[in-house]
Structure 1
Amino acid sequence: MTPATALIPGLDGIVRHGDAERCVEATRRIADLFFEDATKLRSEHINLFDGLLFDLVPLADRPTRIDLAERLSRLVVAPRAVVGQLARDDEVAVAGPLLRRSPALDDRALVDIAQGKSQGHLLAIAERPRLSADTTDVLVRRGDRNVVRQAAANEGAEFSARGYSDLIGRASSDGVLTLAVGKRHDLSDDHLKRLLEGSHDVVKRRLFDVVGPERQLKIRQAVAGLAAAASPSAAKRNFVPAQRIILALYEADTLDEAALLGFARDHRYEEVIAALSAMTGLALATLDRLVSGDRHDPLLVLGRTIGLDWRTVHALILLRLGPKRVPAQGDIEAIRVAYARLLSSTAQRVVAFWKTRH
């Protein structure tokens, strides 16, 4: 093989003192020579081209760098120094092809680039067919919403325990990210439970619809476990003190909506259940099961039956969710509309059914 320096006389002078046009031409000629036999070159020849191109690339114009990066990104064996140089280019159009697919970039290089480059660079890395846990740790920590969503949706990505923890933390305010994480095949039961714990009901339902039967079963179990932890059954609660309070209010003729609203806002669950029992005639155990379930509908039925104002029903919904969860405004508005449309006659028939059934 003829050395590239013999094909381009005065190459050293071009690098040191040549004008931009001559540098671009030299870069293209050396690159073309390399790609002619790239798959057949021995390591010493690849190293030769690596050294030549490494000095010329910084002097090349943008289109030349983009073309070179695109062609190098598809090689299994490529000049590593030049690949690393182009992958660190501030222009995402140059670095992107290499960051997305070049096998010549190892985890150490990817982590280094992810720690200091732009969100565009991070997004390109997140699209690689395979991502190590070290790399995703940086992506989740530094990446914006698009980067993190892409990494979570990447089936070839691995996540450390810390990475998953950070991912789930960010998913609590991002429904799209919740769906991406919830569909991952390597999501543990514990991580699924934590993911659902911070998700809104509408996101949980959407996730349930898009996963397979096995994951649906896991979601049911996780939701049931969360409901049980948030609202212990009547057998584990002591309603006696609450019943005494409600009885005293009843005898004083002050058991009304204002009292119920006060209990709900103070998150006094037992008093709320006891008050609703007195107002509707339903048993404590029945009410506890209905209110602590995974839907808001029973509260709407109860509220319409006894003629509660929306603000009281809203307070009861927040009580059911617990102090650490705040529903999305869109969800609350949908529930408000459903409550406004619910007929009293329909609600009363449902309550009558509950009484006969339980």
Structure 2
Amino acid sequence: MLAASSSLPDLEEIVRSVTPERRAIALRKLGALFVQGASRFNVQHVALFDTVLKSLLPQADGEARAALAGQLAALANAPPSVVRELVLDAEIKVAGPLLRASPVIDEATLIEVVRCCGQAHLQAVAERLIVPESVTDALLVRGEREVVRSAAANAGALFSVKGYSSLVRRAADDGVLAMAIGLREDLPTPLLQRLLSESADIVRRRLFQTASPARRAAIARTMAEAVADADAPTVRDFASAQQAVLVLQQAGALDHATLTGFVKERKYEETVVAIAAVSGLAIDAVDRVIAGGRRDSILILGRALGLEWSAVRALLSLRLGAGRSLSIADIEDARVNFERLALPTAQRVVAFWKDRGQI
């Protein structure tokens, strides 16, 4: 076997030794020998090294295994069975160098690592030069915050639409993650719009300031389109909803539970008509409250009607339309304001609205 041939008989004899110290020595010697000749070895040579090295691994200590992993990490023809065993090693000092850099590891093995190993192993996978979609999908299932942030910030990590949707959802309460996602030029426009709509103002400003000129233009365009969509008038027909609510009212079945059901089922017209019937406000007035831009008006109306916070929260989301939701920060801010709002105060405001005949 080229220059290595004369050394193999001695090494194979060491393999049969039960002395861990000699096995460690053999592992280091054979690893160095492989690195020296890797550029010249053919498939048969690699297979022989694979067999001998693998037989040495079980009783080698962690330091020897880590040294071997470091030797093999950058090699395109590293022994595949040995690489697989090393990347599944419980010690990150052994698995890490290969997980970050080895071109030998296939997608199936990476997914196996992600599904069965610890967060340090997942972090190493997230830092690879190229991370396929199937692997990032797995990372998003098990990865904790730092792993997900690393994957999102890695330009070589590829994400499926499902993966991007998961990232945007997790970014609602993670400004660092929102920044990393927003700077990615492969983020689909609808998801960029959702990300921007759910992020805090300070995150949007920092994202705009940090982005490249081309990305900044895309962000500005997306924000402008979102504003235009929000300003576009929506023509609604409340006739059928009025008939349905009237039947419920006549049957004595129009109560808070029914109203809450309309809200949580995102039945906009039925919700507006039911609130109008319960509150005594005009239908168009309730429509303006829910569809308008003032969140505090919805909080006031919900408190005056005696609705639970869960129903008010659903009412806040209802005005955003399907597929959109408030950020975690906005929800918490609204909850605090709602809990501070006194019932008599809210009732006086709603009575004032009715007296004026407009909101």
Deviation at 1:21, TM superposition (A): 0.8
Partner of 1:291: 290
The TM-score with structure 2 as length reference comes to 0.65
Which string of whole-angstrom CA distances, capped at 9 and with x for unpartnered residues, describes residues 314-349 of structure 1?
745533423999976734433326646xx99xx79x
Determine the structure 2 residue equivalent to 1:319: 315
For residue 83 of structure 2, what is the amino acid of its counterpart? Answer: V
**Contact in 1 for aligned 2:28/2:67 (Cα 8 Å):** no
**Secondary structure in 1 matching 2:156:** coil
**Contact (CA 8 Å) 2:114, 2:121: kept in 1 or not?**
yes
Q: Hey, what's the Cα distance between the residues in 2 that align with 1:295 and 1:71?
A: 62
The DSSP-based 3-state class of the residue aligned with 2:89 is: coil
Return the match for 2:40 from 36, 39, 42. Answer: 42
Identify which range, 51-60 or 89-98, moves more after superposition: 51-60
3-state DSSP class of the match of 1:269? Answer: helix
Aligned mate of 2:162, from 153, 161, 165: 165
Corresponding residue of 1:29: 29
More displaced stretch, 43-52 vs 20-29: 43-52
Aligned match of 1:252: none
CA distance in 2, matches of 1:171, 1:263: 32
Cα distance 1:317–1:5, how it changes in 2: closer, same or farther (>3 A)?
closer
CA distance in 2, matches of 1:317, 1:109: 43
> Which residue number corresponds to residue 65 of structure 2?
65
The aligned runs of 1:212-223 (5 Å cut-off) are 212=208, 213=216, 214-219=218-223, 221=225
**Correspondence list, 1:81-92, <5 A:** 81=80, 82-92=82-92
TM-score, length-scaled by structure 1: 0.65
In 1, Cα distance between the equivalents of 2:41 and 2:4? Answer: 15
Percent identity, aligned pairs only, is 30
Runs (5+) with no aligned partner, structure 1? 250-258
Deviations 1:277-324 (A, max 9, x none): 955xxx7656524421455123346679xxx37747874553342399
Instruction: State how far apart, in whole Å, the 2-side matches of 1:118 and 1:241 are.
Output: 53
Q: Which letter does structure 1 place at the counterpart of 2:222?
A: K
1:99 deviates by 0.6
- Kept in 2: contact 1:239–1:274 (CA 8 A): no
Q: 1:211 to 1:295 in 2, by over 3 A?
A: farther
Mapped contact 1:137–1:159 kept (Cα < 8 A): yes
Residue 330 of structure 1 corresponds to which residue in structure 2? 332
Post-superposition offset of 1:42: 1.5
Give the counterpart of 1:211 among 207, 211, 221: 207
Tell me if structure 1 keeps the 8 A contact 2:272–2:286.
no
- Contact 1:50–1:80 under 8 Å retained in 2: yes
Counterparts of 2:113 and 2:105 in 1: how far apart (Å)? 10
Contact 1:96–1:124 under 8 Å retained in 2? yes
Deviations, residues 33-53 of structure 1 (Å, cap 9, x unaligned)? 455x468x4134973655543
Paired residue type of 1:68: L
- Counterparts of 1:151-230 in structure 2, within 5 Å, are 151-160=151-160, 164-165=161-162, 168-169=165-166, 172=169, 175-176=172-173, 179=178, 181-192=181-192, 203=199, 205=201, 208-212=204-208, 213=216, 214-219=218-223, 221=225
Change beyond 3 A, Cα 1:138–1:263: closer
Q: CA deviation at 1:24?
A: 0.8
Q: 1:4 to 1:109 in 2, by over 3 A?
A: same
For 1:102 and 1:311, the matched residues in 2 are separated by: 58
Any unmatched runs of 5+ in structure 2? 209-215, 263-269
Alignment-derived partner of residue 145 in structure 1: 144
C-alpha distance 76-273 of structure 1, shift in aligned 2 (>3 A): same
